[in-house]
Amino acid sequence: MYADVHDESTLAHNGLHAYAQHPLLRSVGIDRTYYAPIQASDFVHYASQVPEEFRFLVKAPAQCTSPWLRRDAIEARPNPHFLDPDFARESFVSPARLGLGHKLGPLVFQFPPLSGWSRRAAEFAERLHEFISRLPPGPLYAVELRDASLLSDVYMQALLDTGARHCIGLHPRQPAIQEQARLLGRLPVWVTAGGNGTGRIVGDVDGDGLLRILAHAPQAVLLNDPDLLTGLQSRMAS
């Protein structure tokens, strides 16, 4: 698979299985779920192609995180499922858990730019707190924002209260990674890098730990690999 060039059909049918055979690639992100929910059977198909220790990061449908639904490039209508925990549970969390089982990794709620909420950070954080609190316990939930103004103390408290994680994101509307780490220094942070959630994994780190890891390994991909985490911690302590 990696020694030649293949067409899209071959990659679609065999790419994930080949990818998962690489010893350094222990996770992958499922991005198609952002555009529309998929069935548990689709998740089962993904899980059947990878080893037991492999993990999937799965992105929530935009119907969970966008206040508006676009019919085309111009027209949009209000989204009745914005921050609706019942819809999120039935259309996203339950199918992902059922289909992926123990191969389920973080469930990521990526919010688009929320121009109508950028000056209502406290109200957004309260809605987010209620939303995550009513999701099924068990999975690791993570939040990715596109508005720097929403990185508030109330937002941080909502994550602390619910056990959710903040996704450090590289985006023009967000502060630099180092600044995000400082703002969120008292939170555990789940970090991915390198594109589509792929590569080696380190796991939960707090803001100070993230800064130290970035100083030693700025290109590292961070998820859930105890050996790599131990190695990085040893380097940071030396």
CA distance 170 to 153: 21
* Residue 79 pLDDT exceeds 90: yes
Mean pLDDT of the chain: 79
Residue 19, CA atoms < 13 Å, CB-side half-sphere: 23
Q: Is residue 142 within 8 Å of residue 178, measured between CB atoms?
A: no
SS3 150: helix
Q: Which is higher by pLDDT, 73 or 201?
A: 73
User: What are the residues whose beta carbons fall under 8 Å from the beta carbon of 169, sequence distance 6 or more?
Assistant: 144, 145, 146, 180
* Residue 201 pLDDT exceeds 60: no
Q: What are phi and psi of 230, to 5 degrees?
A: -60, -40
Q: What is the pLDDT at residue 119?
A: 84
- Decide if domain 24-189 falls under CATH 3.30.465.10: no
Q: Which is higher by pLDDT, 87 or 177?
A: 87
- Please tell me the pTM assigned to this model: 0.77
Q: What is the mean pLDDT of residues 25-48?
A: 94
- Position 22 confidence tier, pLDDT thresholds 50, 70, 90: confident
Q: What is the mean pLDDT of residues 24-42?
A: 93
Reading the block at residue 191, the tokens are 């970090």
Q: What is the pLDDT at residue 192?
A: 47
User: E strand or H helix at 190, and its extent?
Assistant: strand 188-190
